[in-house]
Structure formats: C-alpha cells, structure tokens
Amino acid sequence: MIGRLRRGRSQVASLSFYGGGSQAFLLLLSLEINQLRQFLEASSENRSERSERVWIDTKRKEEKMNGNSNGFGSGAAVVASEYVRRHHRHEIGENQCSSALVKHIKAPVPLVWSLVRRFDQPQKYKPFVSRCVVQGNLEIGSLREVDVKSGLPATTSTERLELLDDDEHILSIRIVGGDHRLKNYSSISSLHPEIIDGRPGTLVIESFVVDVPEGNTKDETCYFVEALIKCNLKSLADVSEGLAVQDRTEPIHL
C-alpha cells in the first residue's frame, strides 16, 4: 500500500499516467487510505496484540512514545524510547518524515530473529510480498527484487541490505528502486528480549525515514507507511507466536 505514496520530487511530474496532476494523486491517495483501513480492520481482530507507536519529531529529533493508550505504563515507554535512541538513528531531511513502531511478541528473540533476518525471504511473514529474489551472495550491500501481491498499488521493489547484525539483532534495509513512490526510504528493525506473562518475549522496534511527496503532508506520509509496517509486525507476531506454541518454553518465575 505504501508503494504509491511516493515517486519523489524528481518524478512527481510523471503523474500523468495516473490521470494527471496533484488532484488525481490525492484522489488515489484517499482511495488507498480507505482500502488500507479496511485491510487493517479485517486483520486486527485480536485486540490483545500489543502495539505501540513511537513518534520521532523530524525537527527536534526527539522520540515520543504513545505508551498508555495501549495499556503500557511509562516504564515500557522509557525502555523502548532508549532502544530507539540507541539503535534507530536516521539522518532526517527537511522534506522527510520519520517514525518508529513497537510490537511486543510472545516468542523468544532467537525465534523471531530467525524470521526477521531472512533478507532473502521476507515473504515468510510479510503478507504483501509474493516473491523475492536475491542477487548474488547474501551479504551487506546485497540487492533483493521483491514482487508485491496483485491488487496493491505497487508491483516491484528493489531493496539493499544495509546492516545485518546477528549479535545485536538489528536489520537495516534501503529501497533503491522499483514500481512505487518510496523515494529515499530506509528502515531499521531491532529486537530486544523481554518477559511477557512469565515467558521469554521479544520487543520489536521498526523505524523508517522517507521523502514526503509533493502535495502531501508528513502526517499523511507517515500514516501510510506506518499502516503497512503495522500489518507486517502483526503478521510477524502471528507467525512467531504460532511457532513458539509448537516449542513452548517453560515460564520464567521471577
């Protein structure tokens, strides 16, 4: 869904293939938001999922956590904000937006990381990906060609592996091409151990920075990108927790 958000300043003039002009683009943006809302409503039946949002102020570059609205106290917010400060540093330009989202998953870090680190197989948990092909060996700088499932505004995405840290459990990618509007998009995902209901759990944080298309606001752009990331994180939780049930770890009594 985020695919259509951007083609960036250098390509906004080519909107004639959508019917021409910024009004046509805004109409499509509105339609996509409604479509994405419907998808999110259909895929979020389990309200026990614990998802929080961290705003990164693009001017002051200060992290903010919307913790209490999802049932988490200030302590969890402070911990997540510290991880964001430490591991999620983005150079944010004047015409860019940046944000981070937090997901608590009832599965241990090694299990969740085994899915997240697969740069060559994002379709293991990302619902919008139908196919992925990596060019050459899997290493820093490797490129992957991602095919997006039919029915979505994007069709392909070319992405580069920027960082894969198996010790700190950090993955970073950058989109460098494809049939979409994500210009200068990069993301960082980090995993951190925590205890949930007495069992090993994982705190997942995913942050991003991306250009704001001409004619759109930072809030509109962030809304779109965050909506897709939320879908991916929910799917990651569903897959991870399903695998964890098959290999249930004994509760930790503190």
Assign 149 a pLDDT band (cuts: 50, 70, 90): confident
Task: Look at residue 74 in the predicted model and tell me its pLDDT.
Answer: 59
Cα–chain center distance at 146: 15
**Packing angle, helices 21-43 and 218-246, rounded to 10:** 30
Is a pLDDT exceeding 80 seen at residue 251?
no
* 238 DSSP β-pair partners: none
Task: Summarize the confidence of residues 161-173 as an average pLDDT.
Answer: 97
Residue 82 belongs to some domain of the structure: yes
Residue 252 belongs to some domain of the structure: no
The region that residue 167 occupies, defined by phi over 0 for left and psi between -120 and 50 for alpha, beta otherwise, is alpha
Domain count, the chain: 1
- Which amino acid is located at 225 in the chain? V
Assign 12 a pLDDT band (cuts: 50, 70, 90): very low
CB 187 within 8 A of CB 173: yes
Residue 251 belongs to some domain of the structure: no
High-pLDDT (> 70) share of the chain, %: 66
Residue 253 belongs to some domain of the structure: no
Residue 185 belongs to some domain of the structure: yes
Task: Look at residue 65 in the predicted model and tell me its pLDDT.
Answer: 41
CA distance 168 to 166: 6
Q: What is the pLDDT of residues 205-219, one digit of tens each?
A: 999 999 998 888 899
Range among 45-49, 131-135, 169-173 rated most confident: 169-173
Q: What is the pLDDT of residues 52-64, one digit of tens each?
A: 444 444 333 343 4
Task: Look at residue 75 in the predicted model and tell me its pLDDT.
Answer: 66
Q: What is the pLDDT of residues 91-124, one digit of tens each?
A: 888 899 999 999 999 999 999 999 999 999 999 9
241: containing domain: 2-246
3-state secondary structure the chain: CHHHHCCCCCCHHHHHHHCCHHHHHHHHHHHHHHHHHHHHHHHCCCCCCEEEEEEECCCCCCEEEECHHHCCCHHHHHHHHHHHHHHCCCCCCCCEEEEEEEEEECCCHHHHHHHHCCCCCHHHCCCCEEEEEEECCCCCCCEEEEEECCCCCCCEEEEEEEEEECCCCEEEEEEEEECCCCCCCEEEEEEEEEEECCEEEEEEEEEEEEECCCCCCHHHHHHHHHHHHHHHHHHHHHHHHHHHHHCCCCCCCC
Is a pLDDT exceeding 70 seen at residue 72?
no
Residue 254 belongs to some domain of the structure: no
Give the predicted TM-score (pTM) of the model: 0.71
Check residues 34 and 152 and name the one with the higher pLDDT: 152
Residue 233 belongs to some domain of the structure: yes
Task: Look at residue 51 in the predicted model and tell me its pLDDT.
Answer: 46
Is a pLDDT exceeding 80 seen at residue 139?
yes
Q: Residue 192's domain is classified under what CATH number?
A: 3.30.530.20
Q: What is the pLDDT of residues 193-245, one digit of tens each?
A: 999 999 999 999 999 999 998 888 899 999 989 999 999 999 999 999 999 99
